[in-house]
Chain A
Amino acid sequence: MDILEDILQKEAKKSEKYKTTDVEKNVELELDLGNLLALDTNDLNLQELKSHKEKYLLNLARDNTQLLLNKLWDLPSERREDIVVAKLPAGTLRLPREKPCPKPKPLTKWQEYALEKGIKKKKKTNAVWDDIVQKWIPRFGYKKAELERQKDWVLEVPGNADPMEDQFAKKAEKKKEKVSKNEFQRLRNIAKAKKIKVPKEGLPSVANPSSDLLNTAAKVARVSTASLGKFQPKLPKEKTLKENVIAPKRVKRDHSKISSIDEKSSHLKIIDSILGKKPKLDIEKAVNRQVFQEQHE
């Protein structure tokens, strides 16, 4: 009796508008609820596939989705802002790599040395306490630079240094040199990593150099002498430009004051030399005077 009733119920359900939530499969689906993935490894019905392809595939998809959703309803659910939400477990599917594995970078000169000596990187704090200003100042950056500029409003001239030397300029020059040295070493590390051979001195050789490159190379070669290219004989078609010689730094002269002693005296000296050039005996004048006298006689 019960069996009959069950069968009748099933028939009734089948005739309903919506399809049943029970789906029977020969092989169970592999479900990855974390990725909302259902893998169906059942064989396809070739007859139906040939005859009603779209309809068959649609039904298949619908059945598989039904099975997935059945399992989703079984998950523990939460309620967030009037919406019932299922909490998905972690996904089990492992996607293959898109790009090849990265190769380990060759160590830089410093890293090799640190490894050899066993030097470990010390973790440094972001801010440093500065006693003079009584504030926490970042270890580097524009705020620190500003503070340093304020603290160094005056620089002492050391005992053995030339009193006329510009200490601020010297400091700035040192910093520039440090930065450029660092840059040079960084580029050298990169060249070593890429296995590009760079000559120790001079410009690296290029297969097809452009005219600009050749001019630069000629310039560098010219200036690479002890006298910085000053006495280097000129090549037949070389243009002598001001950039070819590293000229000594010109001291900026203060033009604001008419230095009464120096300028005036030098000017007067020049004037004296000019006026002194005229011969004591002005022949022309003598001749004119003679002619004049003769006329008046």
Chain B
Amino acid sequence: MKILSDERTKSVFEKLAKFIGGNIKLLIDRPDGKYCFREHKDRVYYMSQAILDLALSCNKEQLICAGTCFGKFTKTNKFRLHITALNYLAPYAQYKIWLKPSAEQQFLYGHHVLKSGMGRITENTPKNQGVVIFSMNDMPLGFGTSAKATADCKHADPIAIVCFNQGDIGEYIRNEDTLI
């Protein structure tokens, strides 16, 4: 359990800001307790003070994970967000895409979102913006990057990619080993 260095904290926050914008402050400044980000073996975890105390009482080599894993740092020190962070991204998401029931399956298998599968999209979504993807029942399915702005989406072909899949809850089954 290490405190993140300044550069690493910056890269984590930048990534999170892409999806939840200014709401990151709500993650740090919570009224119901002290929460923090900690790093262990290049993975970033988000946990409360209580969990942190427990984690610090463990042997470093034997600790697997503590709190919620938000993502990990690659060998070249780039931060990659994992699907396990979805629970914290979804409520604070600024830009959302809703999928039609027919397209849900395809998305959960790891494919990108096509225009034909897209139900709704928030207004004024710029291009290359981090979006969180929901089903029609407002259940978070994953997150990704918008390939087109909202306006462009309306003119697009039905088979054009509208959003790139960067994480979906199907990964819990597909990439079981690599999530932790």
A263 surroundings in chain B (CB, below 8 A): 3, 36
Partner of A292, one of B21, B35, B151: B151
Please determine whether B154 and A295 come into contact, CB atoms closer than 8 angstroms. yes
Please determine whether B22 and A285 come into contact, CB atoms closer than 8 angstroms. no
With known contacts A255-B56, A267-B28, A268-B29, A284–B3 Cβ distance under 8 A: no
Number of A-B pairs whose CB atoms are under 8 Å?
A: 65
Please determine whether B149 and A288 come into contact, CB atoms closer than 8 angstroms. yes
Cβ-based interface call for A258 (8 A): yes
B56 surroundings in chain A (CB, below 8 A): 255-256
Which of A69-77, A174-182, A217-225, A270-278 sits within the interface? A270-278
Can you list the 4 inter-chain pairs with the closest CB atoms, starting with the nearest?
A291-B151, A258-B36, A284-B126, A258-B34
Please determine whether B28 and A256 come into contact, CB atoms closer than 8 angstroms. no
Interface size class of A (residues with CB under 8 A): 20 to 34
Which of B7-15, B133-141, B160-168 sits within the interface? B7-15
Cβ-based interface call for B25 (8 A): yes
B103 surroundings in chain A (CB, below 8 A): none
Within the complex, the shortest CB–CB distance from A225 to chain B, in Å, comes to 29
Task: List residues 63-113 of chain B with CB under 8 A from any CB of chain A.
Answer: none
Interface size class of B (residues with CB under 8 A): 20 to 34
With known contacts A263-B36, A270-B6, A292-B151, A255–B1 Cβ distance under 8 A: yes
- Residue-by-residue, is A164-206 near B (CB-CB < 8 Å gives 1, otherwise 0)? 0000000000000000000000000000000000000000000
With known contacts A263-B3, A270-B10, A295-B151, A288–B126 Cβ distance under 8 A: yes
Please determine whether B127 and A284 come into contact, CB atoms closer than 8 angstroms. yes
The CA-CA distance from A271 to B24 in the complex, in Å, is 8
The CA-CA distance from A266 to B56 in the complex, in Å, is 22
Cβ-based interface call for A234 (8 A): no
A289, closest chain B residue (CB): B124
Cβ-based interface call for B52 (8 A): yes
A282 surroundings in chain B (CB, below 8 A): 126
The CA-CA distance from A268 to B56 in the complex, in Å, is 24
A260 surroundings in chain B (CB, below 8 A): 34
Cβ-based interface call for A253 (8 A): yes
B24 surroundings in chain A (CB, below 8 A): 271
Within the complex, the shortest CB–CB distance from B133 to chain A, in Å, comes to 20
Task: List residues 118-176 of chain B with CB under 8 A from any CB of chain A.
Answer: 123-124, 126-127, 149-151, 154
